[in-house]
Amino acid sequence: MFLIDCPFCGSRDQREFSCGGEAHIARPPRPASLSDDEWADYLFMRKNPKGVQYERWMHAHGCRRWFNVARNTATDRILAVYRMGEPAPALDGQAPPTPCGEPAVGSGNLALGQGTPAAAKPRVATRPGAPAKPKSAPKPRTSAKPRATARPKSKRPAKAEETTS
């Protein structure tokens, strides 16, 4: 629990607010010109850092107005509150990005002692009763029949074939 300084009402309990996710994500000017991957990046991909993040918040149980907050996601310390449309304040050097100084992305790997995020080996979860062999490089298929559980890699090529023939 922490306090947020609403720029319109003053300091209030965090329970009065709703977080709207990462701030400063501009809508592409011509969405129709984007590829599906670019559009998916715009819609779904977010930074999700452990450290300073710029977020949109709404005072849901108060003035119901939106504003921006710079918050350290590791400590919930709020470093800046500013109105919509204002540029993000530069916060370099104001606060350590994380309490222990680990990098903002992939720091969970360091906490487990697995080295840098790039060098960390992926953890393989196994189901009880499943063979202990980890999934590695895919083997070439010897059987012509696809497995019953196999899903097609992409629906698009099949659809295109249907429409052209």
Binding site for Zn ion (CB under 5 A): 6, 8-9, 59, 62-63
CB of 15 to Zn ion, least distance (A): 13
CB of 68 to Zn ion, least distance (A): 13
How far apart are the C-alpha atoms of 98 and 45, rounded to whole Å? 22
CB closer to Zn ion, 13 vs 41: 13
Q: Could you tell me the two tokens for 9? A: 């009402």
| Beta carbon nearer to Zn ion, 63 or 91 | 63
Question: What element of type H or E holds 160?
Answer: helix 156-164
Which residue lies nearer to Zn ion by CB, 63 or 104? Answer: 63
Region of residue 151 (left: phi > 0; alpha: psi -120 to 50; beta: else): beta
> Do residues 57 and 19 make contact, with C-beta atoms less than 8 angstroms apart?
yes
The nearest distance, CB 52 to Zn ion, in angstroms, is 23
Do the beta carbons of residue 79 and residue 94 sit within 8 Å? yes
Give the residue with the Cβ less far from Zn ion, 81 or 95.
81
N-to-C CA span, the chain: 60
Query: Which of the 8 DSSP states describes residue 15?
Result: G
CB of residue 108 vs Zn ion: minimum separation in angstroms? 34
